[in-house]
Amino acid sequence: MSLIGASKSAVIAHTLEAEIRSGQLGRGDALGSENALVRRFAVSRNTVRKGLEILADKGLITTRSGIGSFVTFGGTPIDSAAGWSVALASSGDRLSSRVLALQRRACEISDGPLAAGADCLCVDRLRFRDSTGQGVSLERSRIPWRSSLADVLDSGLRDGSLDATLKAHGLIGTSGEEWANVLTSLAPEDARLMGRDNGQPMLRLRRLTRGADGAVIEFVESILDPDLFALHMEF
């Protein structure tokens, strides 16, 4: 986010949001009194309140009249280049991830922008709760095959990150689209992978990323626990 020309309230919100998302301010922590924030940012009380309203609208804080503002965000961003998908943890449970598949094969996701059978690098990943092993997100990424990606099959993802791997190969997204809808019934195979009940409703997120030349870099379909993830968009 560029702060050039931004209002003072937006600057306050951006600064505090960075502290929250970095973990400097944790879930339940107080932001400080309005008077303290007025002194810190050298602005009026009204400007501070507008900044706090921005954070509250994003689900990052809650303000209690006569008491103060407290951090409610306790999650981490989903691996999304657009930064629109935000994990909202309802508890302090830690999450881990596991790569289920990393291989070159035909794309089998028929309702996306890639033709069924297209030659792709296919990366399937599961995020799960450390305490129970229950899956909270199942992500299937499909990257049109390029010969430059051959080494990924041997070396794996760079630092465990698909985004970092693609950037290392010069595949940088400059535009894209994202769709979200309710998946009313979790398929049996996905339920098995996630350790959940068949037919359980979930959130489905699909994201298409294109490069500067308009070519598809990645199409990813994510199945998410609606109690843990929500979609936030800025436009």
Helix (H, G, I), strand (E, B) or coil at 35: helix
pLDDT of 195 reads 94
Q: Distance between CA 9 and CA 92 in Å, rounded?
A: 30
| CA-wise closest residue to 122 among 137, 141, 139 | 141
Q: What is the mean pLDDT of residues 68-88?
A: 52
The CATH code belonging to domain 8-71 is: 1.10.10.10
What's the pLDDT score for residue 55? Answer: 86
DSSP bridge partners of 180: 205
* Nearest residue to 77 via CA among 142, 17, 122, 16: 17
pLDDT of residue 188: 93
**Do 52 and 62 touch, CB atoms closer than 8 A?**
no
What digits encode the pLDDT tens for the residues 182-198? 888 899 999 999 999 88
Beta bridge partners of residue 121, listed in sequence order = 104, 143
Q: Are 120 and 145 in contact (CB under 8 A)?
A: yes
Task: State both tokens at 122.
Answer: 């296919």
Distance CA 178, CA 166 (A): 19
The verdict on pTM exceeding 0.85 is no
Domain boundaries, the chain: 8-71, 85-231
Pick the closest to residue 140 from 96, 117, 109, 181 (CA basis). Answer: 109
Distance CA 33, CA 20 (A): 16
pLDDT band at 81 (very low <50, low <70, confident <90, very high): very low
Mean pLDDT across 85-92: 43
Cα(130)–Cα(218) distance, integer angstroms: 28
- For 104-120, the pLDDT digits (tens) are 999 988 777 888 889 99
Q: Which CATH number fits the domain 85-231, given the four candidates 3.30.420.480, 3.40.50.1580, 3.40.1410.10, 3.30.2320.50? A: 3.40.1410.10
Q: Span 40-51, mean pLDDT?
A: 92
Look at residue 142 in the predicted model and tell me its pLDDT: 95
Which position has the higher pLDDT, 140 or 85?
140
- The DSSP letter of residue 220 is E
pLDDT computed for residue 138 by the predictor: 94
Q: Each residue of 117-174: pLDDT tens digit?
A: 899 999 999 988 888 889 989 999 999 999 999 999 999 998 888 888 998 999 988 8
